[in-house]
């Protein structure tokens, strides 16, 4: 593989293990208005960084300053199991957290009574509004007698909240279930009262992992489905497909897209893009249908959709082992940051710390899905990232860490691992000095036209032109294995550019200069 990155890997500025000697994990991170960070997840511990655990495991919210020092933490829940899956800073400077609860005491009231076959309490979806220092302002249990959970929450333009997850219930707050497990979308007022709710799906399993309010005032949700009836049509095979649904501001379904192939395909994260379309991230085990270029058993998968939900491009990223993305964000310049886990040691992945366990995997893509840089973070045990966000000076990642070596410092050695927050600095656009350049540009500099000459195998698949920030401003296929291509930059501003040839197993690039 040709070792090339249009952007150098960013360095770790700081990292923080959060938890105690039992199992703890962070599911969501965001940069706060004061340039610090807040994370949400769960804590089994009641020592170390964790204080006030009320039961088996609590939803756990931790506020960090700009260098990762804990400012405050709060355990939320009761005597049963409670989890925070998503957090959003609200307009009043507080926070809203969504997840699930099996409790009916301490911080939790309104749990919808229901038990499974073993006599254990079924969870409700749970939404908690906090003030700016973690004090509870209100909380709502949402669901019925069966299993319910919230995966994602966002404050809406009217000051209310939209919540996405899934429900097995046919009573209580849930109505319209199509059978079994339905995706569930709930609109709340600013005080947490249900304004409307919508069960989405068919007679098989349907789940939502992410929700966002769109520019038109409606909502887009993404997850996975195994149904092929009800609200779902076009399932590829019999396993889960990724699933995207656009609804109006009152919950009416506008369009539905089922994405994938005959293997297992799931979407965990979605964002609206600056062009009005959408980007989603998850994983795929397919290599047919909508999926092209799978490297092995399971690839991380990024799909770019237009405003109507039609595929513009898709990228399988990874190697021959199991790789996934759990979070994606569009960044300045039009590219994307994605994070998840990688167990591969080949293909697009390099730098995994262990032959036996996955690392956190962070990838920057340009605006057409080409890798700008990738970075593996972790140690000799298992790590994964659940959330990523661009910051003013890099990005921040949150997830789970079991290692106590490699990139990991300060782990509370215990049975279940820690929450992990990693701050990466800015990346620098450039050419890897160890790269083997497989083509020439002449004349260089030029006022308008370059000749790109590639005279040896392997055959390039695509030629790209990138500006000085690493943003792709042109791409075109290259059908011939060798030959000369004319690249006309007349009309472009003078300055530094990069020409990149993409091969099946890597890339090669060179700087070029357009002079006045």
Count other C-beta atoms under 10 Å from residue 250's C-beta.
12
- Beta strands 161-167 and 383-391 are unpaired
Q: Is 254 helix (H, G, I), strand (E, B) or coil?
A: strand
The pLDDT of residue 500 is above 90: no
The pLDDT of residue 75 is above 90: yes
Q: Look up tokens 């006022």; give the residue.
A: 447
**Quick one: DSSP state of residue 404?**
S
Q: Which of these ranges, 10-24, 80-94, 470-484, has the smallest mean pLDDT? A: 470-484
Q: Which of these ranges, 272-276, 283-287, 451-455, has the smallest mean pLDDT? A: 451-455
According to the model, what pLDDT value does residue 4 have? 40
Query: If pLDDT is split at 50, 70 and 90, which confidence band does 429 have?
Result: low
Query: If pLDDT is split at 50, 70 and 90, which confidence band does 3 have?
Result: very low
For the segment 149-175, the average pLDDT, to the nearest whole number, is: 98
Give me the phi and psi of 150, to 5 degrees please: -105, 130
How far is the C-alpha of 280 from the C-alpha of 282, rounded, in Å? 7
Tens-digit pLDDT profile for residues 269-281: 999 999 999 999 9
Nearest to 279 by CA among 251, 300, 250: 300
Query: If pLDDT is split at 50, 70 and 90, which confidence band does 189 have?
Result: very high
According to the model, what pLDDT value does residue 498 have? 84
Q: What is the pTM of this model?
A: 0.84
Q: Which of these ranges, 25-39, 199-213, 267-281, 404-418, has the smallest mean pLDDT? A: 404-418
The pLDDT of residue 169 is above 90: yes
Tell me, letter by letter, the H, E, C secondary structure of 186-210. EEECCCCCEEEEEEECCCCCEEEEE
For the segment 303-326, the average pLDDT, to the nearest whole number, is: 98
Query: If pLDDT is split at 50, 70 and 90, which confidence band does 503 have?
Result: confident
Q: Cα dihedral sign for 415, 355, 376, 286?
A: negative
Residue 439 or 281, more confident: 281
Give me the phi and psi of 342, to 5 degrees please: -140, 130
The pLDDT of residue 136 is above 80: yes
Q: Look up tokens 């197993």; give the residue.
A: 505
Q: Look up tokens 């004349």; give the residue.
A: 443
Contacts of residue 350, defined as CB under 8 A and 6 or more positions apart, other chains included, come to: 1, 374, 376
For the segment 35-56, the average pLDDT, to the nearest whole number, is: 96
According to the model, what pLDDT value does residue 469 have? 65
Tens-digit pLDDT profile for residues 196-232: 999 999 999 999 999 999 999 999 999 999 999 999 9
For the segment 355-375, the average pLDDT, to the nearest whole number, is: 94
| % residues pLDDT > 70 (the chain) | 94
Helices and strands per DSSP (H, E), number in the chain: 0, 35
Contacts of residue 488, defined as CB under 8 A and 6 or more positions apart, other chains included, come to: 448, 449
For the segment 242-255, the average pLDDT, to the nearest whole number, is: 98
For the segment 126-138, the average pLDDT, to the nearest whole number, is: 98
């Amino acid at each position: 593989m040709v070792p090339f990155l249009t952007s150098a890997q960013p360095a770790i500025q700081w990292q923080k293990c959060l938890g105690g000697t039992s199992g703890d994990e962070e599911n969501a991170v965001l940069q706060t208005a004061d340039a610090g960070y807040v994370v949400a997840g769960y804590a089994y511990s009641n020592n170390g960084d964790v204080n006030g655990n009320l039961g088996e495991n609590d939803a756990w919210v931790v506020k960090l300053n700009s260098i990762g020092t804990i400012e405050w933490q709060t355990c939320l829940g009761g005597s049963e199991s409670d989890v925070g899956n998503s957090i959003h800073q609200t307009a009043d400077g507080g926070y809203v957290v969504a997840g699930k609860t099996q409790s009916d005491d301490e911080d939790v009231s309104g749990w919808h009574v229901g038990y499974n076959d073993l006599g254990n309490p079924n969870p409700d979806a749970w939404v908690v509004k906090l003030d700016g220092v973690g004090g509870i302002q209100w909380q709502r249990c949402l669901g019925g007698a069966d299993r319910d959970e919230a995966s994602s929450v966002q404050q809406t333009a009217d000051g209310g909240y939209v919540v996405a997850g899934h429900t097995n219930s046919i009573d209580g707050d849930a109505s319209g279930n199509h059978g079994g497990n339905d995706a569930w979308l709930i609109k709340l007022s600013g005080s947490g009262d249900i304004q409307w709710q919508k069960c989405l799906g068919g007679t098989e399993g349907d789940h939502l992992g992410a929700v966002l309010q769109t520019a038109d005032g409606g909502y887009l949700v993404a997850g996975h489905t195994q149904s092929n009836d009800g609200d779902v049509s076009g399932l590829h095979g019999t396993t889960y497909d990724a699933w995207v649904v656009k609804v109006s501001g009152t919950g009416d379904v506008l369009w539905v897209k089922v994405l994938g192939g005959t293997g297992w395909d799931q979407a965990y994260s979605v964002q609206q893009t600056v062009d009005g379309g959408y980007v989603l991230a998850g994983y795929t085990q397919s290599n047919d249908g909508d999926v092209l270029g799978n490297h092995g058993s399971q690839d991380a998968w990024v799909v770019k959709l237009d405003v109507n939900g039609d595929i513009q491009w898709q990228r399988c990223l990874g190697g021959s082992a199991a790789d996934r993305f759990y979070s994606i964000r569009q960044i300045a310049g039009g590219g994307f940051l994605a994070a998840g886990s990688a167990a591969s040691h080949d293909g697009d992945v390099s730098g995994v710390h262990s032959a036996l366990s996955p690392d956190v995997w962070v990838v920057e893509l340009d605006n057409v899905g080409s890798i700008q840089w990738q970075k593996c973070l972790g140690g000799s045990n298992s790590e994964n990232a659940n959330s990523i966000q661009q910051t003013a000076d890099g990005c921040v990642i949150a997830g789970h860490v079991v290692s106590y070596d490699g990139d990991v410092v300060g782990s509370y050695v215990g049975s279940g691992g820690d929450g992990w927050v990693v701050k990466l600095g800015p990346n620098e656009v450039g050419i890897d000095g160890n790269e083997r350049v497989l083509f020439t540009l002449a004349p260089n500099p030029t006022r308008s036209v370059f000749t790109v000459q590639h005279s040896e195998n392997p055959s390039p698949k695509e030629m790209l032109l990138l500006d000085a920030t690493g943003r792709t401003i042109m791409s075109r296929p290259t059908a011939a294995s060798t030959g000369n291509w004319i690249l006309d930059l007349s009309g472009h501003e003078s300055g530094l550019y990069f020409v990149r040839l993409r091969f099946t197993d890597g890339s090669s690039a060179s700087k070029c200069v357009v002079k006045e």
